C-alpha cells in the first residue's frame, strides 16, 4: 500500500540501473521489466530523462502540489513494479512479521513500525512556508511502515514538510483503510488484541497504533518499562530510513528536479531498497550518509496532545500487563 504512485516511466539499460535490471531478471522476472531506470538515484546527479508525473494523490497539498501535464510516455513501466515490491502483508506474512518482532522485542502482535522522515525538495515560491519544516529547510514528509527486516510495506509521500506527523497520518490511505489491515487476533492479558503498528508520541493512540505513555512524575515502573520495550522495538523504522538513505543519497540532498516529481523518486527508492535488503549494506555508505544528513538535520519530534482513544488505552494496558508478567522491568533511558 502506498500513497506515492508514479504513473508512467521510461527505462534504459546503462550503469547500475542496467545491472539491477539484469539481476532482477534472474530473481523477479515479473518485476524486472517494469523497474524505472531513467532516474539516477545514487546522490551524484539528479538528472531525469523522460520524466514521469505523479498522480494527484501523490501531491503534497490538494490545492498546490498538483502534477504537471505529462507527455505521451510508455505506460505501466513503474507503478506495477513498485506495487509488487511494496504491499500490505497477507495474513501469513503478517503472522511472520509479528513473530519476528516478538522475537526481537518481546512485544506480541506488532505488524510494523511507523515513522516519518523529511526529504529535501525545491519548493514552489508561492508556498515556501508550507514546505518549511521545524529545522527551517524545505522538505516533503515520507511516512513509512516497516516490517521486522527493515522492508517497507506502506509509504506515503504527499504532504509538505510543515505538516505535523499526525496530520500526515490522517491524510494517508493507511489511515483511511486501516480497518482492512490483517487482524489475526490473540488473547493477551484477558484482552483480545489485534495486530497493530508501533508509533512514537507524535502519533495518536489508536486500537491499531500503539505509542508510549506520556512521561510524568506519576508514571509507574510498569509504564516506564513498557516505554523502554516500545522504544527498543521502534528503532526498526529509524534503521530502515538510515539504510534507505545510505543507498539512495538523492534523498539526502536538495535536488533540482520539480517538486511534484519527488514522490516518484521516493517511491522508486523505497521499492529498490526492499529488493536490495536481500543483501548486506556497505558500512561506508552509512557513514557517508550520516555526514550528509548533518547538513540538513531532521526535525525533532512534536508530540500529539489530543485525548487518547479508549480502545487504544485498553490494548496498551494489556500489553503492559503482559510485559510485566513475563519479562524483567526496564528503565527508559
Residue 79 makes CB contacts below 8 A (sequence gap 6+) with: 5, 6, 7, 8
Residue 196's pLDDT is what? Answer: 98
Compute mean pLDDT per 10 residues along the chain, 333 residues long, and list them.
42 39 47 42 35 35 35 47 92 98 98 98 92 96 98 96 97 97 98 98 97 94 97 97 96 89 94 91 91 94 91 98 97 77
Residue 73 forms part of a structural domain? no
Residue 11 forms part of a structural domain? no
Residue 68 forms part of a structural domain? no
Residue 248 corresponds to which cell in the numbers above?
Answer: 539512495
Residue 34 forms part of a structural domain? no
Q: Which is nearest to 198 in space by CA: 154, 143, 151, 145?
A: 145
Residue 116's pLDDT is what? Answer: 98
Strands of the chain (E only): list them: 110-120, 139-146, 152-160, 186-188, 191-193, 196-198, 209-210
With contact defined as beta carbons under 8 Å apart, do 60 and 119 qualify? Answer: no
- The reply to whether the predicted model has a pTM over 0.75 is yes
Residue 323's pLDDT is what? Answer: 98
Q: Residue 224: which domain range?
A: 88-326
Residue 252's pLDDT is what? Answer: 95
Residue 291 forms part of a structural domain? yes
Residue 241 forms part of a structural domain? yes
Residue 332 forms part of a structural domain? no
Residue 51 forms part of a structural domain? no
Total structural domains within the chain: 1
Amino acid at each position: 500500500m502506498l500513497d506515492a504512485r508514479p504513473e508512467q516511466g521510461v527505462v534504459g539499460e546503462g550503469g547500475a540501473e542496467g545491472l539491477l535490471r539484469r539481476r532482477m531478471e534472474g530473481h523477479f522476472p515479473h518485476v524486472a521489466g517494469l523497474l524505472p531506470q531513467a532516474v539516477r538515484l545514487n546522490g551524484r546527479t539528479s538528472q531525469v530523462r523522460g520524466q514521469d508525473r505523479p498522480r494527484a494523490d501523490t501531491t503534497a497539498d490538494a490545492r498546490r502540489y498538483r502534477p504537471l501535464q505529462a507527455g505521451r510516455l510508455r505506460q505501466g513501466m513503474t507503478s506495477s513494479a513498485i506495487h509488487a515490491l511494496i504491499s500490505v502483508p497477507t495474513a501469513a506474512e503478517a503472522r511472520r512479521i509479528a513473530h519476528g518482532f516478538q522475537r526481537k522485542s518481546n512485544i506480541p502482535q506488532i505488524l510494523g513500525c511507523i515513522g516519518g522522515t523529511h526529504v529535501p525538495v525545491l519548493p514552489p515560491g508561492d508556498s515556501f512556508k508550507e514546505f518549511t519544516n521545524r529545522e527551517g529547510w524545505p522538505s516533503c514528509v515520507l511516512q513509512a511502515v516497516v516490517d521486522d527486516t527493515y522492508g517497507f510495506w506502506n509509504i506515503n509521500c504527499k504532504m509538505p514538510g510543515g505538516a505535523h506527523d499526525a496530520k500526515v497520518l490522517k491524510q494517508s490511505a493507511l489511515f483511511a483503510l486501516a480497518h482492512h489491515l490483517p487482524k489475526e487476533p490473540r488473547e493477551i492479558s484477558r484482552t483480545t488484541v489485534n495486530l497493530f503498528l508501533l508509533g512514537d508520541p507524535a502519533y495518536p493512540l489508536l486500537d491499531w497504533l500503539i505509542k508510549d505513555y506520556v512521561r510524568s512524575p506519576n508514571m509507574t515502573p510498569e509504564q516506564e518499562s513498557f516505554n523502554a520495550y516500545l522504544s527498543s522495538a521502534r528503532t526498526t523504522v529509524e534503521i530502515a530510513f538510515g539504510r534507505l538513505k545510505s543507498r539512495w543519497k538523492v534523498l539526502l540532498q536538495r535536488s533540482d528536479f520539480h517538486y511534484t516529481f519527488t514522490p516518484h523518486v521516493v517511491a522508486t527508492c523505497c521499492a529498490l531498497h526492499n529488493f536490495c535488503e536481500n543483501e548486506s549494506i556497505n558500512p561506508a555508505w552509512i557513514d557517508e550518509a550520516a555526514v550528509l544528513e548533518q547538513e540538513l538535520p531532521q526535525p525533532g519530534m512534536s508530540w500529539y496532545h489530543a485525548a487518547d482513544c479508549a480502545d487504544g488505552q485498553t490494548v496498551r494496558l494489556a500489553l503492559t500487563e503482559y510485559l510485566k508478567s513475563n519479562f524483567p522491568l526496564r528503565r527508559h533511558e
